[in-house]
Amino acid sequence: MNREAWEQLRSWNRTPDTAALLTDIDGVLAPIVPTPDMSEVSGEVRELLRRLSGNYRVVAGISGRAAMDALRLVGVEEILYYGNHGFEVLRDGQVEIVSEAAPYKEKVEELERLAREELAPLGAFIEEKGITASIHYRNVSPEVGERCKEFVTREGERLGLRVTSGRGVVEARPPIRADKGTATRKVVEEYRPQKALFIGDDLTDLDAFRELERLSEEGVLSETLRIGVKSEEGPPEITSEADLVVEGTEGVEEVLRMLASRD
Ligand SMILES: [Mg+2]
């Protein structure tokens, strides 16, 4: 499996203008570190991304981080960033909210305002992420945590938002599908490459893998490559659904180097 995929990858550098390079950021371009703000992309990877952006149809980082935060971490202005679960895109220094989500921006702000009034005084932390709002209650009593969940669920529903809960956090977002799969489709529809690859290491990246498959079945893309980055914490599907499996950020660097080579 791997040798064939490497050969395919090697052939892409002959016609870079027909190919889109899409990649997750954390765990792929930047090694996973204990806290997200200590994360860093190496100078070598930065340089490779700059070179690739000059030759390929499009290079895009697709991340769960806010798009601005993704840019700060990667430090390369020449590429496109889809952030915040695919809800926003950063291009030429401007953050745009994807059109389907834009009408919900005011509703999300309204929810944040209510949460600041009602929940922040109880110790909850309101993270304003633009088009999504996260209310964190990890550091408060279980009763206050329950109160946060109830409040955000009730008010979120009233405002027509989708509410989801995680560990110590309840989130409200527009009720439309936005993930790394929808971001992948948007990039392909806008830039119209013939080939596209996605490099990922985690569960949310599987949406992008599956979207590439659909785009290929629909005949929109003639070639696709799903590149899985193997790690101890990563889900097994990242390697089982991949066409090519690499080890850690060093493996990713090798992929980028091959794409950039002029043999
Ligand atoms: Mg990742």
* Ligand 1 centroid from CA 247, angstroms: 13
Which residue is associated with the tokens 């629909």?
218
Same domain, 73 and 145: no
Domain extent, residue 32, equals: 2-99+178-260
* Ligand 1 centroid from CA 26, angstroms: 4
Determine the Cα–Cα distance for residues 252 and 99; give it in Å rounded to an integer: 32
The domain boundary, picked from 148, 173, 198, lies at 173
Same domain, 159 and 183: no
- Look up 179 and say whether it is catalytic: no
147, pLDDT greater than 80: yes
Same domain, 7 and 36: yes
Same domain, 73 and 194: yes
Residue 250: CATH number of its domain:
3.40.50.1000
* Ligand 1 centroid from CA 126, angstroms: 24
Determine the Cα–Cα distance for residues 206 and 213; give it in Å rounded to an integer: 11
DSSP structure class, residue 218:
T
pLDDT of res. 178: 92
Same domain, 255 and 187: yes
DSSP structure class, residue 78:
T
Q: What's the average model confidence in pLDDT over 213-229?
A: 98
Same domain, 164 and 184: no
Q: Which of 2, 22, 10 is nearest to 211 (CA)?
A: 22
Q: Which of 140, 132, 133 is nearest to 116 (CA)?
A: 133
User: Where would I find the beta strands (DSSP E) of the chain?
Assistant: 19-23, 58-62, 80-83, 88-91, 94-97, 125-128, 133-136, 162-166, 169-173, 195-200, 223-230, 244-247
The domain boundary, picked from 173, 195, 218, lies at 173
Same domain, 48 and 150: no
- Which of the following is catalytic: 24, 69, 207, 243? 24
Q: Which of 109, 107, 170 is nearest to 144 (CA)?
A: 170
* Ligand 1 centroid from CA 27, angstroms: 5
34, pLDDT greater than 80: no
Residue 109: CATH number of its domain:
3.30.70.1020
pLDDT tier, 40 (very low <50, low <70, confident <90, very high otherwise) = confident
Same domain, 120 and 165: yes
CB burial of residue 31 (10 Å; 0-12, 13-18, 19+): middle
How many domains is the chain built from? Answer: 2
Non-local (6+) Cβ contacts of 251 within 8 A are 229, 230
Q: What's the average model confidence in pLDDT over 244-249?
A: 95
Pick the range with the lowest mean pLDDT from 37-46, 118-127, 185-194, 224-233: 37-46
Same domain, 196 and 91: yes
The domain boundary, picked from 111, 142, 173, lies at 173
Same domain, 86 and 122: no
Same domain, 12 and 72: yes
Same domain, 126 and 231: no
